[in-house]
Amino acid sequence: MDNHLAAYPALAEQLAARGVDLEAVKASLKAQRVETPSWGYGDSGTRFQTFAWPGAARNIHEKLADAAVVHRLTGICPTVAIHIPWDRPALSGSEGVDDWLALKEYAAQQGLAIGAINPNVFQDDVYKLGSICHPAPAVRRRAVEHIRECIAIGQTVGSNLLSLWLADGTNYPGQDDLRARKHRLLESLSEAYRAMPPAMRMLIEYKPFEPAFYHTDLADWGMAYTMASRLGPQAQVLVDTGHHAHGTNVEHIVAFLLDEGKLGGFHFNSRKYADDDLIVGTINPFELFLIFNELVAAAGDPATADCARHVAYMIDQSHNIEPKLEAMVQSVLNVQAAYARALLVDRRALAEAQGAGDVLGAYRCLADAYETDVRPLLAQVRLEMGLAPDPLAALKSSGYEAKIAAERGTAASGGSSGYPG
Ligand code: RM4
Ligand code: MN
Ligand code: MN
C-alpha cells in the first residue's frame, strides 16, 4: 500500500481533533482546477540554448495528448491554455489551414477543453518598439487585429478567457513618450474589450521588466488594475507569481485585488531571481501557501466569494532541463499541497488571535496549517476520485514517457533560443 495512504487514518484523527471538517476539505480539493499551458509540454530554452527533450510535444495535438495524461493522473487539469500562433492547428497538419473547431473536438476526445487564449504580440519584427503601445498606428492596428482574431478563436473553441501579456516597453530614457504610450494602451485595449462577447473575460498581466529594460507599459498590478477598471467588469488582473520586484508581498496584492473584485487569474511558477518560470512551489512554498490562504479566506467571505470563485488558476512555466510531463505533474501536486494546507487554517482561532492582538498566536495559526504533512490527505482524495494515490509513480510506471520518446524522437538541437513553440 502507498505509504502516504497508509498514514491517512492517523492524520484524519489528528485533523478531526483540531476541529477540521475533513469532508468539506476533501470536497474542496476534489473541486480544485488547475489549467496547464501548452507551451510547458514543448521544448523551450533560455536566451542561450534550447535543449531538446526526447518525446517533447512538437505541435498542439501532441501537447493536448500530453496534457490529457496529466489530467488523467491528477484529475484536476481539464483545460489547456494555448498561445497563438504557436498552437495554430495548421502547424501540425498537412492541410495548412487552421481548423479550430476540429481542434476543439480533438481536445474533447482527449477529455479536455481549450482554456485561456494567449495572443502573441511580441514575436514579429514589426513589434520591435512595442505592439499596442507602438508609436506607429499601423503596428498598433496589426496587434489589435491579432487580439481580435484570438477573441474569435476563443469563441470557436469555447473559451471565455483572453489572457493578455504585452512585451511593450522601452530600453532608454526618452525613447518614447510614456504618457502617449499609456493613451495608446488604453485605446487599443478598449477596442479589444469591445470585441469580446459578454461572457468573455480579459485577464491583464503585468511584468516589471523584460524584454524591455527601462520601462514596461504594464509594469505592475496597479497599472493592470487601472486599465481593468477603465475597461469595465469583464477586465481583471492576472498575477504571474514570477513578475514582481524582489521582496514584493504577492499575497497582499492578491488580497487587495480580491477585495476589489479584480483578481482574474494566476500564472503560477517559481522564481529565484527574475522571471525564471521554474516549477511552482519549488523555491517559495510558503509564499504559495500564503497566496492560497488569502484565496481560501476570500472564498469564505460573502463580500469576496464571487470574485474568488471565478479566479482562473493557470500554470505558466517553461521546462528547460526537466522532463516535461513529470514537471507538469509535480507542479500540479505542489499547487494542490498549498491549497490543502490553506484549507487547514483554523480561521476562527485566527480571527480571535487577530482581534486580541495576539501577534504570534495568529502567526502560529498559519504555521500549524503550513507545517501539516498533507500528502496522506491528498493520497486519500485521489483514491476517492478513482485515481492512483501517487501520480508521479503512476506516470513512471505507465510507460507513456518512453512511448512518446520512441514515437516522436528528439528534436535536432540547433542552438536556437527562446520559445520555438
Ligand atoms: C511572459 C509572460 C506570459 C507568457 C510569456 C511567454 O513572461 O509570463 O504570460 O505567455 O512570457
Ligand atoms: Mn505569465
Ligand atoms: Mn513570465
In this structure, the residue with its CA closest to atom 11 of ligand 1 is 165
Name the residue of 120, 166, 202, 205 to mutate for ligand 1: max ligand atoms within 8 A of Cβ: 205
Taking CB atoms within 8 Å and a gap of at least 24, the contacts of 300-306 are 300/347, 303/259, 304/258, 304/259, 304/261, 306/261
Tell whether the torsion through CA atoms of 143, 148, 149 and 154 is positive or negative: positive
CA–CA gap between residue 313 and residue 264 (Å, rounded): 9
The model's pLDDT over 127-159, given as tens digits with 9 standing for 90+, comes to 999 999 999 999 999 999 999 999 999 999 999
pTM (2 d.p.): 0.97
Residue 115, judged by CB atoms within 10 A of its CB (0-12, 13-18, 19+), counts as: buried
CA–CA gap between residue 420 and residue 89 (Å, rounded): 15
- Identify the CA nearest to 400 among candidates 70, 174, 172: 70
Residue 156, judged by CB atoms within 10 A of its CB (0-12, 13-18, 19+), counts as: middle
Q: What is the pLDDT of residue 92?
A: 85
Positions of the chain with pLDDT lower than 50, given as ranges: 414
Q: Which residues of 59-82 are buried (b: 16+ CB within 10 A; e: fewer)?
A: bbbbbbbbbbbbbbbbbbbbbbbb
The model's pLDDT over 249-299, given as tens digits with 9 standing for 90+, comes to 999 999 999 999 999 999 999 999 999 999 999 999 999 999 999 999 999
Name the phi and psi angles at 162, rounded to 5. Answer: -110, 115
Q: What is the pLDDT of residue 88?
A: 96
CB distance 269 to ligand 1 below 6 Å:
no
Atom of ligand 1 nearest to the CA of 83: 10
CA of 394 to the centre of ligand 3 (A): 30
Q: What is the pLDDT of residue 415?
A: 54
Q: What is the pLDDT of residue 417?
A: 63
CB distance 275 to ligand 1 below 6 Å:
yes
In this structure, the residue with its CA closest to atom 2 of ligand 1 is 165
CB distance 181 to ligand 1 below 6 Å:
no
In this structure, the residue with its CA closest to atom 9 of ligand 1 is 165
Residues paired with residue 270 on neighbouring β-strands, in sequence order: 278
- Identify the CA nearest to 86 among candidates 122, 59, 61: 59
**Ion ligand 2 — residues with CB under 5 Å?**
240, 267, 316
Q: Scan for cell 476541529, then name that residue.
A: 19
In this structure, the residue with its CA closest to atom 5 of ligand 1 is 165
Cα 55 to Cα 51, 216, 259, 404, 413: the distances in Å are: 12, 36, 44, 5, 13
CA of 174 to the centre of ligand 2 (A): 28
DSSP string, 203-242: EEE--SSSS-SSEETT-SHHHHHHHHHHH-TTEEEEEETT
The four Cα atoms 302, 307, 310, 316 give a dihedral, to 10 degrees, of -130
CB distance 41 to ligand 1 below 6 Å:
no
Q: What is the pLDDT of residue 358?
A: 98
Atom of ligand 1 nearest to the CA of 243: 8
Q: What is the pLDDT of residue 308?
A: 98
Q: What is the pLDDT of residue 413?
A: 65
Three-class SS of residue 42? strand
Name the residue of 316, 318, 319, 320 to mutate for ligand 1: max ligand atoms within 8 A of Cβ: 316
Q: What is the pLDDT of residue 419?
A: 56
